[in-house]
């Protein structure tokens, strides 16, 4: 079997980098993004911080009042989390990734696996150039930097990625994988938490190298069959998990705030036009057809409404969305006198194009 070549892309100090992107002037200052619980002005915790703030010891999870203390006397800037904005940037990057691979697995808002085996013809040399190209493309189009770990499987790609950040590129070739893991502590493996680490320490296992050499039979006796075999394989850099999309999307939507509250159809349709552009790109990238188009409205009094239309036959094009969003808004505005603050476009009822790939069975029967 050909080597696989797997990338893990992890966006650098993501929420804080998004804030820098829209306020370039703050780039040289400590930047902290926090979740404010609202009880007092400073209650809440740090979501993330840029690398300058990290030098002062300000990291994810730290209470905000402590972050303020550590950064006292600096020109640090604090932001409230804005998930809608970060999601939007994340989706734009994921969309670029889709142009570079047929197998993309988004793990979180700022992490995704790409199986690029075919694209680089199994070559780790080509993988380096390919990774640099993707990084440069995203930097140019979106302005965000990220780190890529490259390995023969997901496990190695992930640990490679964590080994050098930010703006990193770490490549571990198949013949280096075991030696790369060996000196690392066992808790670097997915699924090895505090309890397991303590149990392994009792057994005299501290590093992944020690775990790799440990009698697999004993691991099975202590941790059970599934985990025992998993620990043995993982420590030996063996991982056959495929890179696969996490379930199909049920709907694709985009919401935005109008520049000013409005009841004017054309003004509203200007905004929904932008939202539709975004939605149709996602649909095309995923090879979907859709049957339902919906609009979402948040009125000035913050009440929200949705309206939908479902067709008999699936569609794939942008015009059908544009046309139906117009019809839905015309009707909605004629029924509701309130000015609108935010609008959304949602498309659902998906069916997927048949993949062009031949089914395995057709090889068996055509022989
Ligand atoms: P991470 O990838 O863990 O961190 P990061 O992107 O900020 O920094 P790094 O350069 O080390 O990759 O998390 C991704 C985002 O998730 C992060 O930007 C903010 C959010 N987050 C929280 O809100 N709370 C947390 O405790 C953590 C760890 C992350
Ligand atoms: Ca990250």
What's the CA gap between 28 and 47, in Å, rounded?
Answer: 19
Q: Is 341 helix (H, G, I), strand (E, B) or coil?
A: strand
- Lowest-pLDDT range, 88-92, 296-300, 354-358? 354-358
- Under 8 Å between Cβ of 229 and 245: no
Q: What is the pLDDT of residues 250-261, one digit of tens each?
A: 889 888 999 999
Q: What is the pLDDT of residues 25-82, one digit of tens each?
A: 999 999 999 998 877 878 899 999 999 999 999 999 999 999 999 999 999 999 999 9
Buried b (16+ CB within 10 A) or exposed e, 176-196: bbbebbbebebebbeebeeeb
161: left (phi over 0), alpha (psi -120 to 50) or beta: alpha
Q: What local confidence, expressed as pLDDT, does residue 351 receive?
A: 84
Between 97 and 367, the higher pLDDT residue: 97
Q: What local confidence, expressed as pLDDT, does residue 361 receive?
A: 30
At 1, is the pLDDT very low, low, confident or very high (cuts 50, 70, 90)?
A: low
- Under 8 Å between Cβ of 14 and 93: no
For the residues 183-204, what does the mean pLDDT come to?
Answer: 95
Q: Is 49 helix (H, G, I), strand (E, B) or coil?
A: strand
Between the CA of 180 and the centroid of ligand 1 the distance, in Å, is 25
Between 40 and 321, the higher pLDDT residue: 321
Q: What is the enclosing helix (H) or strand (E) of 6?
A: strand 6-11
**Parallel/antiparallel/unpaired status of strands 288-299 and 251-262:** unpaired
What's the CA gap between 81 and 261, in Å, rounded?
Answer: 24
For the residues 265-274, what does the mean pLDDT come to?
Answer: 97
For the residues 117-146, what does the mean pLDDT come to?
Answer: 97
Does any ligand 1 atom lie closer than 6 A to the CB of residue 166? yes
Ligand 1, atom 29, residue with closest C-alpha? 47
Q: What local confidence, expressed as pLDDT, does residue 304 receive?
A: 86
What's the CA gap between 116 and 130, in Å, rounded?
Answer: 9
170 has a pLDDT exceeding 70: yes
Ligand 1, atom 15, residue with closest C-alpha? 14
360 has a pLDDT exceeding 70: no
At 112, is the pLDDT very low, low, confident or very high (cuts 50, 70, 90)?
A: very high
Does any ligand 1 atom lie closer than 6 A to the CB of residue 239? no
What's the CA gap between 137 and 148, in Å, rounded?
Answer: 14
357 has a pLDDT exceeding 50: no
* Phi, psi for residue 122 in degrees, rounded to 5: 70, 10
**Parallel/antiparallel/unpaired status of strands 77-80 and 31-36:** parallel
**Parallel/antiparallel/unpaired status of strands 77-80 and 44-49:** unpaired
285 has a pLDDT exceeding 90: no
Ligand 1, atom 11, residue with closest C-alpha? 13
Question: Which residues form the catalytic set?
Answer: 111
Q: What is the pLDDT of residues 222-266, one digit of tens each?
A: 999 999 999 999 999 999 998 987 766 788 988 899 999 999 999
- Under 8 Å between Cβ of 44 and 63: yes
- Under 8 Å between Cβ of 14 and 80: no
Does any ligand 1 atom lie closer than 6 A to the CB of residue 47? yes
Q: What local confidence, expressed as pLDDT, does residue 276 receive?
A: 97
Tell me the pLDDT of the chain averaged across its residues: 92
Between 125 and 352, the higher pLDDT residue: 125
What's the CA gap between 322 and 350, in Å, rounded?
Answer: 17
């Amino acid at each position: 079997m050909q080597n696989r070549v797997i990338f893990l892309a992890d966006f650098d100090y993501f929420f804080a980098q998004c804030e820098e992107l829209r306020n370039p002037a703050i780039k040289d200052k400590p930047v902290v993004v926090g979740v404010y619980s609202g009880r007092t002005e400073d209650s809440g915790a740090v979501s993330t911080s840029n690398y300058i703030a990290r030098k002062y010891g300000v990291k994810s999870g730290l209470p905000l009042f402590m972050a303020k203390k550590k950064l006292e006397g600096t020109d640090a800037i604090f932001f409230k989390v804005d998930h809608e904005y970060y999601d939007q940037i994340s989706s734009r990057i994921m969309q670029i990734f889709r142009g570079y691979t047929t197998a993309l697995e988004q793990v979180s808002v700022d992490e995704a696996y790409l199986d690029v085996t075919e694209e680089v013809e199994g070559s780790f040399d080509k993988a380096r150039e390919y990774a640099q190209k993707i990084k440069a493309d995203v930097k140019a189009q979106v302005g965000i930097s990220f780190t890529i770990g490259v390995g023969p499987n997901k496990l190695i790609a992930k640990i490679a990625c964590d080994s050098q950040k930010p703006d990193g590129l770490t490549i571990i070739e198949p013949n280096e994988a075991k030696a790369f893991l060996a000196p690392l502590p066992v808790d670097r493996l997915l699924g090895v938490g505090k309890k397991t680490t303590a149990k392994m320490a009792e057994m005299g296992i501290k590093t992944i190298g020690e775990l790799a050499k440990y009698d697999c039979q004993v691991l099975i006796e202590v941790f059970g069959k599934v985990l025992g075999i998993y620990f043995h394989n993982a420590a030996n850099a063996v991982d056959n998990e495929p890179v696969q999309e996490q379930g199909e999307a049920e709907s694709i939507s985009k919401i935005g705030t109008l520049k000013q509250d409005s009841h004017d159809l054309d003004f509203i349709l200007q905004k929904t036009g932008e939202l539709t552009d975004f939605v149709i790109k996602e649909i095309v990238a995923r090879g979907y057809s859709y049957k339902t188009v919906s609009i979402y409205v948040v009125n000035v009094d913050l009440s929200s409404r949705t309206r939908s239309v479902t067709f008999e036959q699936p569609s794939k094009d942008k015009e059908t969305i544009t046309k139906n969003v117009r019809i839905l808004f015309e009707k909605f505005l004629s029924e509701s006198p309130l000015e609108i603050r935010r609008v959304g476009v949602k498309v659902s009822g998906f069916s997927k194009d048949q993949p062009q790939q031949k089914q395995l069975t057709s090889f068996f029967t055509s022989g």
